[in-house]
Amino acid sequence: MPLTQDQIDEIEKSRAETQPTRRVVATALEDQLYRAVPILDHGFVRVIDYMGDDNAVVQAARVSYGRGTRKVSQDAGLIRYLMRHRHTTPFEMCEIKFHIKLPIFVARQWIRHRTANVNEYSARYSILDREFYIPDQAQLASQSTANHQGRGAVLQGAEAQEVLDILRSDSTQVYDHYAHMLNEDAEGNPVDADRSGLARELARMNLSLNFYTQWYWKTNLHNLMHFLSLRADPHAQYEIRVYADAMIDMMRAWVPLTTDAFEEYRLGGVHLSRTALDIVRRMLAGEQVSQESSGLSAREWREMMGALGRE
């Protein structure tokens, strides 16, 4: 279970508290506020706080004094223009804060996005739960022979079961040793009064990368979209992509006009180099262009042909 009953009760208590405000409120996101969306086997993502909405982007671009009287279609058109022409600063006027529970190896990949404020759960001060990520069999794949960062064919039968057994056995043993070295119960009292426990900051080094950590992650809308454009991409690692997919749904509840533009121009669009654009023009003019005559590397050619649906 991603959340205990005590945590669920705490969330519902927070959701029951309301206060009047003159601040901008995104009604659809307010309905989701604090609520945890389960991810993987023990993880979750939830929105803790936010600032601004679509109108804040428009207001910043126009430097206006209020919401104004323009139609939604005009605001959508401006946001799409900003997205299309990579005018980023108006999107930086909106911010959002997430609470995320995720495997440590996903967190180490995630933290490479150095454009957020992050505060992570500390195993120096607290004891980690006995929670570790075990993939579904459908996610157990061999190493790709074409992409050093990707996966190949899914493992089947006894081979897949062996991997799952190893992951569970190793993770269980590692946590047992971690708990033994700590020699502490949930209240911090010694389990065995006849021996001292190892310091928490040292005992944690035995834990493997599939154990779960948690953090608060706050970023602005521009940097959120950069993160999502990379991590919601079909080529992204599955274990981080499922978080990104859930965050896009939350983003849509927060800034629907911006999300539409983002999906149109960033997620669903493609950027062509100067040479690739020239090749497309030559093709449209009826010229037969090959990879050898294109001026592109074999990989660039494959990527361009894939984007054009001409693999």
DSSP, residue by residue, 193-261: TTSPPPPHHHHGGG--TTBEEEEEEEEEHHHHHHHHHHHSSTTS-HHHHHHHHHHHHHHHHH-HHHHHH
Return mean pLDDT, the chain: 92
Give pLDDT, residue 1. 55
3-state secondary structure of 44: strand
Residues 97-156: tens digit of each pLDDT? 999 999 999 999 999 999 999 999 999 999 999 999 999 999 988 887 776 677 778 889
Domain ranges of the chain: 5-133+210-267, 274-307
C-alpha dihedral, 217 to 221 to 222 to 226, nearest 10°: 60
Does 292 score more than 70 pLDDT?
yes
Does 281 score more than 60 pLDDT?
yes
Structure tokens at 46: 């939830």
73: which residues sit within 8 A by CB, 6+ positions away?
none
Q: Is 306 exposed, middle or buried (0-12, 13-18, 19+ CB in 10 A)?
A: exposed
3-state secondary structure of 45: strand
Does 40 score more than 60 pLDDT?
yes
Q: What's phi and psi for 244, nearest 5 deg?
A: -60, -40
Active site includes 124? no
Separation of alpha carbons 163 and 137, rounded Å:
9
Give pLDDT, residue 213. 96
C-alpha dihedral, 78 to 79 to 83 to 89, nearest 10°: 100
Fold of 5-133+210-267: Gyrase A; domain 2 (3.30.1360)
Does 261 score more than 80 pLDDT?
yes
Q: Name the residue with higher pLDDT: 143 or 225.
A: 225
Q: Is 216 exposed, middle or buried (0-12, 13-18, 19+ CB in 10 A)?
A: middle
Q: Active site residue: 46, 200, 231, 266, which one?
A: 231
Mean pLDDT along residues 215-232: 98
Task: Calculate the alpha carbon distances from 306 to 103, 300, 301, 302 in Å.
Answer: 32, 10, 8, 6
Does 56 score more than 80 pLDDT?
yes
CB distance 244 to 102 below 8 Å? no
Mean pLDDT along residues 21-40: 94
